[in-house]
Amino acid sequence: MDIHEYQAKDILKSFGVAVPDGALAYSPEQAAYRARELGGDRWVVKAQVHAGGRGKAGGVKLCSSDHEILDVTSDMFGMKLVTHQTGPAGKGVYRVYVEAATAFEREIYLGFVLDRTTQRVMIVASGEGGMEIEDISATRPDSIVRSTVEPAVGLRDFQAREIAFALGIPAALTQQMVRTLQGCYRAFTELDATMVEINPLVITSDSRIMALDAKMTFDGNAMFRHPQIAELRDKSQEDPRESRAADRGLSYIGLTGNIGCIVNGAGLAMATMDTIKLAGGEPANFLDIGGGATPERVAKAFKLVTSDKNVQAVLVNIFAGINRCDWVAEGVVQALRAEPVDVPVVVRLAGTNVEEGLKILAKSGLPIIRATTLMEAAQRAVTAWKNDMAQNTKVRAVK
Ligand code: GDP
Ligand code: MN
């Protein structure tokens, strides 16, 4: 689960990380008012969206007057900010953060991630802040400092000092850097984060270490024990298809193709998407119904996939171990009876109760295309989709 920059800064501040003074606004007038409240004569106005790369996309602006803030935020509010992290649809700007501008000497990159290989929290840092970490690792890989934290003892001060030295932080600021690293590490572990990223962390002109940007991601499965974090969820920043699925307990990722997939297990979902591509199609989504799916759950998943108007064919691919093919078949039939769809549906079943499942499909009398192997299923889905498209085009042409 992602949160906004201003929320991440608020959290990190409570863990001892220095951040600029700032205030949130929901309208241009409020943004100007907030700036007057903060005082000073230079402010940074920042669009709050769940994505990085805002600076280059026009979502971060330096302003020196009320008038300028009104002007800049009038454009920001309601816009769909498209950055290299949002995808082409962009993310809506409904909140703007106003901060006292900070003059700085140096920008540093600081990230805390879960390293799955070592199963440890890994600190990644670079003296080349301001750039995205992908660009740093492409252009200045030698500048990257990596340090793994031993969970039994946590981040020790000597380890934090080593990182500070490796980054060339002036000796007078070592203690502030240690405090910043410790604060981030504690926030990461105590709140079940999966990522803390500060880019840039700066050395200000008056020699302080300060986080000018902050990004935190949390483990969704741990949110039940952090209600104060869980309530920071902002559905306006999520793909509506994905929030609807999450609310129904389904694991769903929206994609840009047009073949809807209903699959059990993430590995099988990956294989299914690959096979669809191999057969010349593009998956519209990734939907994992999980193990032990009841007919009702399958029907819900089916409804969710077909409610996406980009979906022009559906492929149900089930390899049932814990699942039961007859229940899946029942779910598909229930869904199609309740709400007929005007796109071709291909079903491939294998495993537990496959004969019963196939019987249910055959007996239903519904125009369900069946397939035995995954390759066959993918090819049939792609062919059915192409034929369907051709027919629809003809109908339209005749009209
Ligand atoms: P991002 O593009 O989404 O990562 O947004 P950031 O918050 O990192 O802002 C983009 C860039 O704006 C930063 O890399 C800084 O160089 C610059 N910036 C942000 N805040 C300030 C500030 O207070 N003063 C100055 N001079 N530059 C800032
Ligand atoms: Mn940034």
Closest ligand relative to 204 C-alpha: 1
185 and 265 both lie in a single domain: no
Whether the per-residue pLDDT at 399 is higher than 60: the answer is no
pLDDT, mean of residues 365-372: 94
pLDDT at residue 395, as a whole number: 52
76 and 117 both lie in a single domain: no
125 and 157 both lie in a single domain: yes
Q: Which of 23, 27, 85, 48 is nearest to 234 (CA)?
A: 48
Query: Which comes out higher in pLDDT, residue 378 or 309?
Result: 378
CA of 54 to the centre of ligand 1 (A): 9
Q: What percent of the chain has pLDDT over 90?
A: 79
- Indicate the pLDDT class of residue 242, thresholds 50, 70 and 90: confident
Whether the per-residue pLDDT at 315 is higher than 50: the answer is yes
The CA distance from 74 to 48, in Å, is: 14
Q: Are 177 and 165 in contact (CB under 8 A)?
A: no
Residues found in the chain: 399
From residue 99, alpha-carbon distances to 9, 37, 54, 211 in Å are: 11, 11, 15, 12
CA of 56 to the centre of ligand 1 (A): 10
- Indicate the pLDDT class of residue 397, thresholds 50, 70 and 90: very low
Ligand 1 atom at shortest distance from the alpha carbon of 100: 23
260 and 310 both lie in a single domain: yes
The domain in which residue 58 lies consists of 21-100
Pocket test for ligand 1, best of 49, 60, 110, 216 (most atoms within 8 A of CB): 60
Strand positions, DSSP E, 4-129: 22-25, 43-47, 60-63, 80-81, 91-92, 96-100, 104-115, 120-126
Query: Which comes out higher in pLDDT, residue 389 or 13?
Result: 13
pLDDT, mean of residues 155-164: 98
The CA distance from 66 to 29, in Å, is: 9
Whether the per-residue pLDDT at 344 is higher than 50: the answer is yes
The CA distance from 99 to 212, in Å, is: 9
Q: Indicate the residue among 180, 210, 229 that finishes a domain.
A: 229
CA angle 202, 87, 111 (to 5 degrees): 30
Decide if 122 is inside a domain. Answer: yes
- Provide residues with CB under 6 Å of ligand 1: 44, 46, 52-55, 60, 101-102, 130, 199-200, 212-213
Q: What percent of the chain has pLDDT over 70?
A: 98
Whether the per-residue pLDDT at 137 is higher than 80: the answer is yes
Whether the per-residue pLDDT at 130 is higher than 90: the answer is no
pLDDT at residue 394, as a whole number: 52
Whether the per-residue pLDDT at 262 is higher than 90: the answer is yes
Decide if 3 is inside a domain. Answer: no
CATH number at residue 43: 3.30.1490.20
Q: Indicate the residue among 70, 100, 130 that finishes a domain.
A: 100
Decide if 9 is inside a domain. Answer: no
Decide if 11 is inside a domain. Answer: no
pLDDT, mean of residues 30-59: 96
265 and 382 both lie in a single domain: yes
What CA dihedral angle connects 38, 19, 58 and 129, to 10 degrees?
150
Query: Which comes out higher in pLDDT, residue 342 or 63?
Result: 63
pLDDT at residue 371, as a whole number: 95
pLDDT at residue 398, as a whole number: 44
Whether the per-residue pLDDT at 289 is higher than 70: the answer is yes
Decide if 399 is inside a domain. Answer: no
Q: What share of the chain is helix, strand, coil (3-state, %, to 5)?
A: 45, 25, 30
- Indicate the pLDDT class of residue 251, thresholds 50, 70 and 90: confident
81 and 163 both lie in a single domain: no
Q: Indicate the residue among 167, 198, 229 that finishes a domain.
A: 229
Q: How many domains does the chain have?
A: 3
192 and 246 both lie in a single domain: no
190 and 302 both lie in a single domain: no
299 and 363 both lie in a single domain: yes
Known active-site residue 109: yes
159 and 58 both lie in a single domain: no
CA angle 197, 200, 203 (to 5 degrees): 125
The CA distance from 303 to 314, in Å, is: 11
Whether the per-residue pLDDT at 249 is higher than 70: the answer is yes
pLDDT at residue 382, as a whole number: 96
CA of 55 to the centre of ligand 1 (A): 6
Q: Whose CA is nearest to atom 9 of ligand 1?
A: 55
Known active-site residue 197: yes
Decide if 8 is inside a domain. Answer: no
pLDDT, mean of residues 335-342: 89
Query: Which comes out higher in pLDDT, residue 291 or 91?
Result: 91
- Indicate the pLDDT class of residue 330, thresholds 50, 70 and 90: very high
Whether the per-residue pLDDT at 159 is higher than 50: the answer is yes
Token look-up 């149900």 returns 316
The CA distance from 177 to 255, in Å, is: 41
Which one from 109, 128, 252, 330 is the annotated catalytic residue?
Answer: 109
The chain-wide mean pLDDT, for the chain, equals: 93
pLDDT, mean of residues 383-393: 84
Strands 209-211 and 193-204: antiparallel
341 and 279 both lie in a single domain: yes
CATH number at residue 165: 3.30.470.20
pLDDT, mean of residues 99-122: 96
Helix 325-338 crosses helix 354-364 at what angle (to 10 degrees)?
Answer: 20
248 and 367 both lie in a single domain: yes
Whether the per-residue pLDDT at 396 is higher than 50: the answer is no
Decide if 213 is inside a domain. Answer: yes
The CA distance from 272 to 284, in Å, is: 12
Decide if 166 is inside a domain. Answer: yes
CATH number at residue 381: 3.40.50.261
Q: Are 180 and 18 in contact (CB under 8 A)?
A: yes
